[in-house]
Amino acid sequence: MSPALVNDLLNYDLKIVQDNNFFKFSIDSVMLAEFVKIDFKDKKLLDLCTGNAPLPIILSKYNLEITGIELQKSVYKLAKKSIKLNEINNVNMINDCIKKSDNYFPGNNFDIITCNPPYFKIGESSIINEQKEKAIARHEIKIKLEEIIQIAYNNLRNSGKFYLVHRTNRLIEIINLLSKNQFGIKRMQMVYYDKNSECSMILIEAKKNNKNDIKIMEPLFIKDFGGTYEINNSIGESRKKI
């Protein structure tokens, strides 16, 4: 792994440790963190595919017991460094595949599960990056969307909340998979780069064993989110210019 560096985590008065050459947190996870609704009864949050843990770090200000699961050891180490650097005590990291979550938790254990997953199926026209860390983060090499939704269902308590950020070109598939796995969709928010662009991403809140009762939120514009961002639609990555 190349030398790490420390950057500001947007305007949260937090720091995040990143890889000097390629591994940067994406605005996707930050938007997802802002989209999450935390109620007084919510005590436990699980972040799947957590990366270098921007979402757990942002949400650590709440009175929650937060766990992040990250498969790649090099990325997991970045997350651990960030948690220590920010002196965060309520975030725990696990270095393992989320398919093995039942080795760590009993079922029906979490109030909230979040996920910023790999966006692309294997075999799509986008080129798989030669760097292993990027390839696994962007493509469904190690985990598929349906598996993620099944894992979320198994680990949530009844009526627990599942939050997902994904590409809009897979929206129909997402809706079908959530329905198949007994999730009811409660909120959606469309994400655009600016007012002149097409919708590129979607934020979704769904509840376990609930009926659909969908509220469409006001659109979210990345350009106005807290900085200037570059969106690369061919690889599904959005990064702040640092």
Q: What is the mean pLDDT of residues 140-157?
A: 89
Per-residue tokens: 214: 């969908």
Least confidently predicted of 8-17, 116-125, 126-135, 211-220 = 126-135
Q: What is the mean pLDDT of residues 185-207?
A: 95
* Boundaries of domain holding 86: 4-240
Band (pLDDT 50/70/90 cuts) for residue 192 is very high
Encode pLDDT of 65-99 as tens digits. 999 999 989 899 999 999 999 999 999 999 999 99
- The count of structural domains within the chain is 1
Is 34 or 138 the better-scoring residue by pLDDT? 34
Which of 164, 129, 135, 128 has its CA nearest to residue 75?
135
Encode pLDDT of 160-170 as tens digits. 999 999 999 99
| Tokens 């949260």, located at residue | 12
| CB distance 135 to 128 below 8 Å | yes
Encode pLDDT of 109-140 as tens digits. 999 999 999 876 766 555 555 555 555 556 44
* Per-residue model confidence (pLDDT) at position 25: 74
* Per-residue model confidence (pLDDT) at position 56: 97
| CB distance 17 to 82 below 8 Å | yes
Give yes or no for residue 228 having a pLDDT over 50: no
CATH number at residue 14: 3.40.50.150
| CB distance 27 to 238 below 8 Å | yes
Q: CB within 8 A of 40, min separation 6: which ones?
A: none
| Tokens 């966006």, located at residue | 119
Give yes or no for residue 180 having a pLDDT over 80: yes
Least confidently predicted of 10-19, 172-181, 232-241 = 232-241
